Amino acid sequence: MLAGGRVEGDGQVAVSGFGKIEEAKAGELAFLANPKYEEYLYSTQASIVIINDSLELKQPVGATLIRVADAYSAFAALLAQYEALQQQALSGREEPCFVHPSAEVGEQVYIGAFAYIGKNVRIGKHVKIYPQVYIGDHVSIGDHTVLHPGVKVYHRCVLGQHVTVHAGSIIGADGFGFAPQADGSFKKVPQMGNVVLEDQVEVGSNSTIDRATIGSTIIKAGAKIDNLVQIAHNVEVGSHTVIAAQTGISGSTKIGQGVMIGGQVGIVGHIKIGDKARINAQSGVSKSLEPGKAVTGSPAYDYTAALRGQAVSRRLPELEKRLQELEARFAQLTKKD
């Protein structure tokens, strides 16, 4: 079994789609991972529900159950398999598209309509290039990579295997480099480097990853980047780091592996974020962080200290009242003396 679980109920039941546990219909498969939704397990119309092996039922369940160690991960694996089957149906070249004669295209590659593939591009096997994708000269793309509609990959960038870039994202645009001049104007600094996305990287829609001034902007293996993220020139993002939407990372900052960055975070340039650091949403990070450090706020500071500060701030009206009472009592004692 793909989910690797234990079946309770009718092992012969068939499904043809997926559904949320609170809305699923007969013939659909759902999952339950969050205890907040357990009530729907006893009323769902889903034919099959994937649940955690540790869940103890409180009522009879009409659906067939599949017990697994981690319901969320098992459901994700099924969805990935379903998506892979759908993509296998895509093959060949749609017209019109342009593929330069010098480009090397691997086996079973799909190239959608109005795609452009430049000079000396190298494309691996089983790559999916959706309509209106632009791939500049001397780009290298590894096996099983997927570029969704409207993606732009500038010249000399390198994408590894099993990379996914979602619609509208731009890989390799010029970094924001301008030298101030004596007359107050700014002179553009040529951006001569590239962007490297290592294996298993995923980039959300409408994100931008700028090419390096010299060398490479590097997103290391397994990193996941949300929609609307800006990564500047010469940044390095460590393996298996996750970055949520609307985050901006300034130039030459080095981010370690396994870092978790919330939405709308701003990070200044030329600093280091240690491995497994955690940055809360809407934080402003202005200095380097040690490995494992958790921060919040703007400017960002220790997460635990911030929570204590918030707890104290909520008690300020009560503390003010107590202080006024103490002042009144002190005034009475002073009068008696």
- If you ran DSSP here, which 8-state letter would residue 90 be given? -
Closest residue by Cα to residue 232 from 215, 253, 214: 253
What is d(CA 247, CA 225) in angstroms, rounded to the nearest whole number?
A: 9
Vertex 277: Cα angle to 195 and 158 (nearest 5): 10
What is d(CA 150, CA 30) in angstroms, rounded to the nearest whole number?
A: 32
Both tokens of 119, joined, read 């000079």
Tell the residue number behind the tokens 């103490």, with chain if given: 326
Of the residues 126, 148, 166, 233, only one is catalytic, namely 233
The one-letter amino acid code at 332 reads Q
Closest residue by Cα to residue 126 from 138, 142, 137: 142
CA-to-CA separations, 268 to 208, 271, 284, 301, in angstroms, rounded: 17, 7, 8, 14
Vertex 28: Cα angle to 26 and 30 (nearest 5): 115
Closest residue by Cα to residue 128 from 139, 117, 112: 112
Q: Is 233 a catalytic residue?
A: yes
Cβ–Cβ < 8 Å for 250, 231: no
Both tokens of 165, joined, read 């870039």
Partners of residue 51 on adjacent β-strands = 32, 67
Tell the residue number behind the tokens 């017209």, with chain if given: 95
Quick one: 193 exposed, middle or buried, by C-beta within 10 A (0-12, 13-18, 19+)?
Answer: buried
What is d(CA 78, CA 89) in angstroms, rounded to the nearest whole number?
A: 18
Q: Give the residue numbers annotated as catalytic, written as ranges.
A: 233
